[in-house]
Amino acid sequence: MSPLAVLALALPLSHAFVPPSPAHLPSLSSSRRVSLRRSPPPASLPSTALQATTLVRPTSDTKDAKDKEPLTADLPPLLGGLRAINKKIVVITGASSGLGLATTKSLAKQGGYFVVMAVRDKEKTKRICKEEGLEEGKDVAVLEMDLASFDSVRKFARNLKAWLGPQPLDRLICNAAVYLPHLQAPEFTKDGYEMSLQVNHLSHFLLINLLLPELKKSKDPRCVIVGSITGNTNTIGGGLVWPRAELGDMRGWRRMLKGQRTAMIDGHNFNGAKAYKDSKLCNMLLMQELDRRLHNSTNIAFTSMYPGCIAETNLFRNKRQWFRKLFPVFMKYVTGGYVSEPEAGDRLAQTVADPRCAKSGIYWSWNGGARMVGVLVPGSDTPVGAGGSGGDLFENTLSDEAQDKKKAQMVWEYSAKAVGLDDIA
């Protein structure tokens, strides 16, 4: 078998205001409440160079121990926060590298946006911001969130609400993902779920639901969930490259909810590449279910998108060195699906800024549906049709399974049980 054939079988084709004193911080009891099954209260964040404010909910809202938890809000520098008043506030998960960082930089260049970078390693991200010329307090704020922990997601949501105060959250971009094809056995989070499923899907499901009240305050609220052609079997990368995304009857998920240590949604043996693809399929099913359940009542535009194949992204850091060297060449000159990180960041930023992307329930793509190898046509500098560089925004079509309404409802219900949301729309 030729090297290119081997490569084809291996490719995944992915994809403020002045800080108030504690007494003046808004009561969170006035927001739409999401009922959570009780879990041990997370530890407060340590005091850092950033201003930290701790508050306790009013006594009228302290019916149980959960309501008495202190909230620790990481606040950006004072003067930088002032500059954020007239900007649209955007939360991006996984903003310290790859597509998330490229999108942050693109929005900073556009102006008019203030990005809250939701990241696992704050200090590392602060260093990256300095290297990239992103000014904390002017362009960005860095808040900690580990998507491998539901407690961390809840803590982030509380801190963000305290930081926002009366201001709305205008955009939520669910971008962060892990891809673990090298694993022979699954890794489980402390919450008991396979790593790809929790980081890529479950924690984003929880985050979206926790931040709905803040999004609803915006005049043009949008929630974008980054999808992938690997979760769509109507594409070359998703349909012809084994293993294919397929959730089956979700018997594995039902086992998880019973407390059984199960890695795969379909209940079959663990495969790291398939776990990633299944999680992206869940992302796209979730987007449509959010649209059906919540768009009309909240005016939030729920969408997904495929940015093109970012062949040099850190998503592939666990692949072999020969793959990481040859994959970009293969995508550029064989399939035509290649797109650079900066261009991919511009594409995701477009879903934040473009008036056309206020339409809900859409899977956005560029330069073809990736159902064919790209071809050069007169007047084009790049191959056309494979989702690679160039082209214009268009409404793409999801695979049959990714459009399955029954499965979308099951994904919603099982996700709600998994993360402990008992009272949601």
- pLDDT value of position 28: 35
Give dist(CA 49, CA 233) in Å, integer: 48
> What kind of architecture, by CATH, is found in domain 78-307+340-370+388-418?
3-Layer(aba) Sandwich (3.40)
| pLDDT (0 to 100) of residue 85 | 80
Q: pLDDT tens across 71-96, in order?
A: 444 444 434 344 578 899 999 999 99
pLDDT at 380: 59
Predicted local distance difference test score (pLDDT) of residue 370: 54
Contact 112, 191 (CB under 8 A): no
Q: Residue 232: its pLDDT value, please?
A: 75
Distance of CA 211 to the CA centre of its chain: 13
Q: For position 357, what pLDDT does the model report?
A: 98
pLDDT at 398: 94
Q: Is residue 288 classed as helix, strand or coil in its secondary structure?
A: helix
Half-sphere exposure of 181 (CA within 13 A, CB side): 18
Q: Which of 113, 179, 276, 414 is catalytic?
A: 276
Express each pLDDT in 353-397 by its tens digit: 999 999 999 999 988 665 445 445 556 556 554 556 778 899 999
Distance, CA of 291 to CA of 314 (rounded, Å): 31
**Apex 178 CA angle, 254 and 128, nearest 5:** 145
Instruction: Establish whether 276 is a catalytic residue.
Output: yes
Domain edges within the chain? 78-307+340-370+388-418
pLDDT of res. 230: 78
Residue type, 289: E
Would you state the pLDDT for residue 373?
53
- Kindly give the confidence (pLDDT) of every residue in the chain, 425 residues in length, as a single tens digit, with 9 standing for 90 and above: 444 343 443 444 444 333 433 333 333 333 333 444 434 433 433 333 333 333 333 333 433 444 444 444 444 443 434 457 889 999 999 999 999 999 999 999 999 999 999 999 999 999 999 999 999 989 999 999 999 999 999 999 999 998 888 889 999 999 999 999 999 999 999 999 999 999 999 999 999 999 999 999 999 999 999 998 777 776 666 556 779 999 999 999 999 999 999 999 999 999 999 999 999 999 999 999 999 999 999 999 999 999 987 756 665 566 567 555 665 555 554 565 678 899 999 999 999 999 999 999 999 998 866 544 544 555 655 655 455 677 889 999 999 999 999 999 999 999 999 999 975 54
> What residue has token string 């939360």?
91
pTM recorded for the entire structure: 0.77
Q: What is the pLDDT of residue 318?
A: 62
What whole-number distance in Å separates Cα of residue 305 and Cα of residue 312? 19
For residue 265, the model assigns a pLDDT of 98
Structural tokens at position 283: 């992302």
- Confidence at residue 231, expressed as pLDDT on a 0 to 100 scale: 73
Nearest alpha carbon to residue 342 among 16, 170, 152, 104:
104
Q: Which of 98, 131, 102, 176 is nearest to 349 (CA)?
A: 102
